[in-house]
Structure 1
Amino acid sequence: MGDAENPVGDAETTVGDTGIRVDRDRCMGSGQCTLFLPDVFDQSEDDGKVVLLDTAASDPASAAALRTAVMRCPSGAISLRPRDSGVTA
């Protein structure tokens, strides 16, 4: 597994009630996510690709801001999913 300095493959985290997934193989390093939500996203100094930050210590971003970050990603490397509520159907 990678860390913020040597991230590899896909990464996932949760911000508020929303799960965030990034596909580093798909990321082209445009930095749109980091410009829009620097408390959630960063770029690797090694390859310029997206890195998810530890958001547990920061204020959670709004769902609308996260959706905007997803829409701004030109490569489609970021996706959102509702956090598992634990309710089974």
Structure 2
Amino acid sequence: MEKIREICRELEFPVELLPNPIFEASVALVETGRVEEARKIIAYYVKVLRKIEERMRIYEEECYEMPMGATGFVLYPPVPPAPPGD
């Protein structure tokens, strides 16, 4: 279990968010000494989630024509309002 936490820490991903099938498979691999395979499975899952998140961000920006910072994801600072009179 500690090895799984360490892998998740390296990937900056909370272990609590791993789905049970991924978590259980990773634990089984670590118990049999196949830590590198467990790392690859978790890394692949995190990579896929991050790609989905990025595509959703792009889709929502295009769909709603506003930066995602306005809908909860702060990826970059919001554009400040124009000064009065502009």
Structure with the bigger RCO (C-alpha within 8 Å, sep 6+) is: 1
Instruction: Name the TM-score, length of structure 1 as normaliser.
Output: 0.23
Higher helix share: 2
Instruction: Name the TM-score, length of structure 2 as normaliser.
Output: 0.24
* Greater Rg by CA: 2
